[in-house]
Amino acid sequence: MYLMQVLISGLMLGGIYAMVSMGLTMIFGVVRVINFAHGEFLMIAMYLVYWLNVLLGMDPYVSILITVPVFFVFGVFVQRILIQPIQESPATIKIFSTLGLGLVLSNLALMLWDADYRSVKVSYSTAVINISELSISVPRLIAFIFALLVAVFMYSFLTKTDLGKQIRAVSQNRQAALLMGINVRKIYMIAFGIGSALVGLAASLLMPMYFVYPSIGLLFGLIAFVVVVLGGLGNMYGAFLGGLIIGLVEAIAGAYIDPALKEVFYFIIFILILLLKPSGLISMGRGSEEVGL
């Protein structure tokens, strides 16, 4: 029963990781930029949720209506202003610019809001649902349900709509996409926007159960990288599954070994994948390690 309890809580936490990681992998797969500021986007989004709550009394779940569109637009701007001018530059330059953006954001947060841990006070943050002997945290359950909805939504969007198909086309062959009359720059902005919007959503779902502080981006950034490598770079379905797996691993390691060692486990998984199956968990056939989706 205890194991069951551990697995459920890990799976639910994994939902959040899945969402953040799907955003990261979407940006990588389409724009071909590793967003090293991804964790910092999440941190800023969490502060947004926090301040909306403190200043306006807005419930974190209601703040979804704000974080998602705001971070979509934020992502579009980052792509347009920061990445597009260096789109054709070598990878190192892109790495430095997203790393730099991340540093700017975390230092900005430190300057504006100190290193304090801040959390929103909501009645349901420790609420649980009891099913026979299992107890499930309500915020975790809500986050998990959202993660499932997002996965279903993203799947339908990418496979059923013209815009979704254009996004996949750009990720698979950008030159052919151009020849089809697809405005590749616009698709890059949309993909970066979606990737960031997912982070905005994750922030709203996290704040009822987490603290925010300026360096929290580091932790979530690290997790997202491990998940994305686990699932295969650029692979949305891989990122979803990978997120759940990392959630499970974290819960098991925390329950049976030592919660303080969870980062060590991320790294062990990371290195094992790179050694054993660098193309990621889910291979979509020849060449997919490079392209994904």
SS3 219: helix
CB-nearer residue toward another protein: 85 or 287: 287
- Residue 228: name the closest of 173, 171, 270, 194 by CA: 270
Which residue number, 134 or 178, has a Cβ lying nearer to another protein? 178
- Rounded to the nearest whole angstrom, what is the least distance from the CB of residue 286 to another protein in the complex? 7
Nearer to another protein, 169 or 245 (CB): 169
**Least distance to another protein from the beta carbon of 120, Å?**
42
Q: Least distance in Å: CB of 204 to another protein?
A: 32
Strands (E), the chain: 128-131, 134-137
Residues in contact with another protein by CB under 8 A are 162, 165-166, 168-169, 172-173, 175-184, 284-288, 291, 293
Residue 173 is given by DSSP the state: -
Cβ atoms 292, 232 nearer than 8 A: yes
Q: Which is nearer to another protein, 35 or 172 (CB)?
A: 172
87: three-class secondary structure by DSSP: coil
Nearer to another protein, 164 or 277 (CB): 164
- Given the complex with another protein, which of 37 and 293 has the nearer CB atom? 293
Q: How far is the CB of 293 from another protein (least distance, A)?
A: 7
Contacts of 92 (CB under 8 A, 6+ apart): none
Q: At what angle do helices 216-231 and 91-113 cross, to 10 degrees?
A: 150
Cβ atoms of 203 and 49 closer than 8 Å: yes
Residues 170-174: contacts with CB within 8 Å, 24+ apart?
Answer: 170/30, 171/29, 171/30, 171/234, 171/291, 171/292, 171/293, 172/291, 172/293
Smallest distance from the beta carbon of 81 to another protein, in angstroms? Answer: 20
Smallest separation (angstroms) from another protein to the CB of 171:
9
